[in-house]
């Protein structure tokens, strides 16, 4: 190979589209197509109010998906986030009903999720147990605690909490509520951490090849545990946002929500095998799930089970695409 050819090769790579971004671009294309099709079929679909409600109804899922993104990029999984979300919402409702100060209750609820994440990460790393088993046990533990604390739904009647929940910014009919604002801040912070810090680069390195990360002297132990701590903290925060949305806490909240979070992350382009993925892709994945539900609601005659059917089909398509892209990259 001549010198000119050696210079030309990297130049072509710089000019070409990086294959890492293809899944995210595919998800963005799906979002745009769904918005265009929904707008063409239903007159009131493409309105600021409908788009605003898309974020309002899925603020908790956005936060869950962000935490799940960190775990999946390291090559792990967290099945406990739905149950931890329920536990966090019950803690909020129980303590507020008991007359506790809201600014003390909210950190306690989030810290409960953090403790679950710390427990999962420590057991997975130090005892070499599969993340699937550990977080499954955590799911049962959190769900059991929910029923132990409050077997029935607990309504939230707290003036300070109502004022906090009621804060919003309006751009015409488009509204940004407290929950949406918090969810978007979480996405921004996670994006910066994942792409512009040493911790974020280590997360990707572990998912790409953990033995190589160890040989390079990267802090694998601390990073893997922190990934589960972030996921647990996001689940705790998701419970707070869910309690803000429903103004109640209930033990059966969030059943199956961990699967929605995983689906959003995978549809958003994160590899289940780890090493690749984007927080913004997970946000787009949540929007895809929300748009499916919105279109079915507008259609009016389809059963809600069609949401699961469409999500399942999309998930299969994206998993196959990821496999094809992985082969191309190899």
Helix, strand or coil, per DSSP, at residue 129: coil
Are 224 and 120 spatial neighbours (Cβ–Cβ below 8 Å)? no
Task: Report the alpha-carbon distance of residue 111 to residue 234 in Å, rounded.
Answer: 10
- Residue-wise pLDDT for 142-157, tens only, equals 999 999 998 889 999 8
Task: Report the alpha-carbon distance of residue 165 to residue 59 in Å, rounded.
Answer: 13
Task: Report the alpha-carbon distance of residue 194 to residue 34 in Å, rounded.
Answer: 28
Q: Of 69-83, 92-106, 148-162, 226-240, where does mean pLDDT reach its minimum?
A: 148-162
**Mean pLDDT over residues 277-286, rounded?**
93
Query: 228 is written with which tokens?
Result: 């589960």
Q: How far is CA 113 from CA 15, 89, 106, 139, in A?
A: 44, 11, 11, 11
Element (H, E) at 233: helix 220-246
| Side-chain half-sphere CA neighbours of 182 within 13 A | 23
Are 109 and 240 spatial neighbours (Cβ–Cβ below 8 Å)? yes
From 250, 169, 220, 191, select the one nearest 65 (Cα to Cα).
191
Whole-prediction pTM? 0.90
Query: 62 is written with which tokens?
Result: 């956005």
Q: For residue 97, is pLDDT > 60? A: yes
Q: For residue 135, is pLDDT > 90? A: yes
């Amino acid at each position: 190979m001549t010198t000119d050819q050696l210079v030309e090769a990297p130049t072509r790579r710089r000019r070409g589209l990086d294959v890492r971004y293809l899944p995210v671009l595919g998800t963005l294309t799906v979002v745009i197509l769904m918005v265009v099709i929904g707008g063409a079929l239903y007159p009131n679909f493409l309105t600021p109010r409908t788009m605003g409600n898309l974020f309002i109804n899925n603020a908790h899922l956005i936060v869950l998906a962000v935490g799940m993104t960190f775990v999946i990029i390291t090559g792990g999984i967290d099945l406990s986030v739905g149950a931890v979300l329920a536990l966090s919402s019950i803690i909020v409702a129980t303590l507020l009903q008991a007359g506790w100060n809201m600014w003390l209750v909210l950190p306690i609820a989030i810290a409960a999720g953090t403790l679950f994440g710390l427990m999962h990460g420590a057991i997975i790393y130090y005892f070499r147990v599969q993340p699937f088993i550990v977080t499954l046990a955590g799911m049962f533990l959190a769900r059991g605690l929910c029923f132990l604390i409050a077997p029935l739904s607990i309504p939230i009647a707290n003036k300070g909490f109502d004022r906090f929940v009621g804060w919003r910014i309006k751009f015409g009919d488009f509204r940004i509520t407290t929950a949406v604002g918090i969810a978007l801040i979480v996405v921004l912070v996670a994006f910066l951490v994942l792409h512009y810090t040493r911790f974020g680069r280590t997360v990707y390195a572990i998912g790409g090849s953990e033995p190589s990360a160890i040989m390079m002297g990267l802090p694998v132990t601390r990073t893997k545990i922190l990934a589960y701590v972030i996921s647990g903290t996001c689940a705790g925060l998701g419970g707070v946002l869910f309690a803000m949305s429903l103004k109640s806490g209930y033990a059966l909240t969030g059943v199956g929500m961990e699967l929605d979070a995983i689906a959003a992350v995978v549809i958003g382009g994160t590899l289940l095998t780890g090493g690749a993925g984007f927080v913004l892709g997970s946000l787009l994945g949540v929007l895809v799930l929300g748009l499916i539900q919105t279109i079915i609601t507008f259609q009016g005659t389809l059963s809600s089970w069609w949401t699961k059917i469409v999500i399942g089909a999309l998930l299969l398509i994206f998993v196959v695409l990821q496999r094809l892209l992985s082969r191309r990259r190899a």
